[in-house]
């Protein structure tokens, strides 16, 4: 079974690359907004901050490392939280683009999607009549014919260049049962060393459904495959966020919140900030008689190499094929 923990790690995914500016005024777009909301989330109790970058002008997801470096050092200087940078990026980005920011910053942790999948956002395009920016609706509609590519070659490349090359550890994002078996393949191959963080994800169209039975199914499968070599965390999309992560905490797991995963704080109520979501799940955790993990606790559990955000010189490297 998953490693037994005395405290619950809260990860906060601050902005993501899924929701668009029209959907919520609270969604952080500019480097200033991302930095401020990240710092507030850390102060509210998030020990891991998961980060994407956006074009400051129109909010479009961007892989530009120069945009990342406008907020990463500020967050690191102001908090002790673990910096976790996406390697998923946004729809249509090449693997080379997705790794540009992480390779420059060499963070303690990065996300890593454990398999190719349909990642469908197109139903959201029909929910809004007007848009703040012209790119938003076509961006969402295009996902109907989009495969989020994460081949075995891509995963190995990321593990070697970021993991072995930079000492980065990973939040292994598993959107379906098969992703756990993909993860097991890389563990058996020696490219992933325990203890490793498994993020079980529910409610994305194209991944495993948001049903409570699936929480147990994912956990039991991970227990069989990994024993006590893994640290378990859960996130759920949209309205399923709080019920699912509450269940995870009760089962001894860790939790992820943030405006990347859900824009709401309650039924029909938009969240005012990422910190509001962190405060809500922290209250739930503490009322369950559990304790919230500090950044030091999170580093100890995941064997993270504590470091400052480092800017490495840009150098050409061979890249796998584009998405």
**What pLDDT, in 10s, does the model give residues 96-142?**
999 999 999 999 999 999 999 999 999 999 999 999 999 999 999 99
For residue 55, report the phi and psi dihedrals to the nearest 5 degrees: -60, 120
- For 246, the enclosing helix (H) or strand (E) is helix 241-250
Task: Say whether pLDDT at 310 is over 60.
Answer: no
Tell me which residue range forms the domain holding 261: 7-118+144-302
Distances (CA, A) of 30 to 35, 72, 76, 225, 227: 9, 12, 17, 41, 42
Q: Kindly state the DSSP code that residue 264 receives in the 8-state scheme.
A: E
Name the phi and psi angles at 7, rounded to 5.
Answer: -130, 155
Q: Is the pLDDT of residue 311 over 70?
A: no
**What whole-number distance in Å separates Cα of residue 40 and Cα of residue 36?**
6
pLDDT band at 301, cuts 50/70/90?
confident
Pair of tokens at residue 46: 């998030």
| pLDDT of amino acid 2 | 76
21 part of a folded domain: yes
Tell me: pLDDT of 255 over 70.
Answer: yes
Summarize the confidence of residues 59-85 as an average pLDDT. 98
217 burial (CB, 10 Å; 0-12 / 13-18 / 19+) is middle
Residue with the larger pLDDT of the pair 59 and 304: 59
- Stated as kind and residue range, the H or E segment containing 61 is strand 61-62
CA dihedral 47→52→55→61, nearest 10 degrees, is: -150
What local confidence, expressed as pLDDT, does residue 305 receive? 59
For residue 103, count CB atoms less than 10 angstroms from its CB and return exposed for 0-12, middle for 13-18, buried for 19 or more. Answer: buried
pLDDT greater than 60 at residue 248: yes
Q: Considering the domain boundaries, does residue 315 fall inside one?
A: no
Q: Is 45 left (phi over 0), alpha (psi -120 to 50) or beta?
A: left
125 within a domain of the structure (yes/no)? no
Range 293-318 average pLDDT = 65
**For residue 64, with 0-12 CB atoms within 10 Å meaning exposed, 13-18 middle and 19 or more buried, which class applies?**
middle
In a domain, 138, yes or no: no
- Answer whether residue 136 is part of any domain: no
What is the C-alpha separation between 53 and 30, in angstroms, rounded?
8
Across residues 308-312, what is the average pLDDT? 43
Mean pLDDT in the chain? 93
Residue 320 located in a structural domain? no
Alpha-carbon gap, residue 121 to 85, rounded angstroms: 22
Tell me, what's the pLDDT at 4?
Answer: 65
DSSP state, residue 190:
T
User: How confident is the model over 197-222, as pLDDT tens digits?
Assistant: 999 999 999 999 999 999 999 999 99
pLDDT over threshold 50, residue 319: no
Distance from C-alpha of 1 to C-alpha of 258, rounded to nearest angstrom: 27
**Would you say residue 322 has pLDDT above 50?**
no
- Has residue 20 been placed in a domain? yes
What is the structure's pLDDT at 302? 78
190 or 309, which is more confident: 190
pLDDT at 313 over 60: no
Full-model pTM: 0.93
How many structural domains does the chain have?
1
Binned at pLDDT 50, 70 and 90, residue 150 comes out as very high
* Pairwise CA distance, residues 268 & 153, whole Å: 42
Q: What is the CATH number of the domain that holds 150?
A: 3.20.20.70
Mean pLDDT of 271-286: 98
pLDDT single digits (tens) 11-49: 999 999 999 999 999 999 999 999 999 999 999 999 999
DSSP code of residue 15? S
Tens digits of per-residue pLDDT, 63-74? 999 999 999 999
pLDDT of residue 306: 53
Mean pLDDT of 210-236: 97
Cα(218)–Cα(230) distance, integer angstroms? 13
232 found inside a domain: yes
pLDDT at residue number 250: 96
């Amino acid at each position: 079974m998953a490693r037994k923990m005395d405290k619950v790690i809260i990860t906060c995914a601050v902005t993501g690359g899924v929701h668009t500016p029209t959907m919520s005024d609270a969604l952080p777009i500019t480097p200033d907004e991302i930095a401020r909301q990240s710092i507030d989330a850390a102060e509210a109790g998030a020990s891991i901050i998961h980060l994407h970058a956006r074009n400051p002008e129109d909010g479009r997801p961007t892989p530009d490392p120069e945009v990342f470096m406008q907020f990463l050092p500020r967050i690191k200087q102001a908090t002790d939280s673990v910096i976790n940078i996406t390697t998923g990026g946004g729809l249509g980005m090449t693997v080379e683009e997705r790794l540009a920011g992480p390779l420059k910053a060499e963070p303690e942790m990065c996300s890593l999607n454990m398999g190719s999948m349909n990642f469908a956002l197109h139903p959201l395009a029909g929910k809004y009549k007007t848009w703040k920016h012209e790119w938003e609706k076509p961006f969402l509609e295009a996902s109907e014919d989009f495969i989020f590519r994460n081949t075995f070659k891509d995963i190995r490349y990321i593990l070697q260049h970021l993991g072995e090359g930079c000492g980065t550890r990973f939040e292994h994002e598993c959107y379906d049962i098969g992703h756990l078996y993909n993860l097991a393949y890389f563990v058996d191959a020696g490219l992933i060393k325990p203890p490793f963080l498994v993020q079980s994800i529910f409610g994305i169209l194209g991944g495993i459904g948001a049903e409570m039975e699936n929480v147990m199914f994912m956990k039991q499968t991970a227990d069989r495959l990994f024993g006590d070599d893994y640290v378990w965390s859960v996130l759920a999309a949209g309205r399923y966020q709080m019920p699912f992560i509450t269940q995870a905490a009760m089962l001894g797991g860790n939790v992820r919140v943030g405006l990347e995963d859900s824009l709401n704080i309650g039924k029909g109520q938009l969240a005012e900030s990422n910190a509001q979501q962190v405060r809500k799940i922290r209250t739930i955790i503490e009322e369950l008689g559990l304790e919230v993990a500090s950044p030091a606790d999170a580093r100890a559990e995941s064997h993270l190499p504590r470091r400052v955000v480092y800017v490495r010189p840009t150098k050409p490297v061979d890249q796998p094929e584009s998405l």
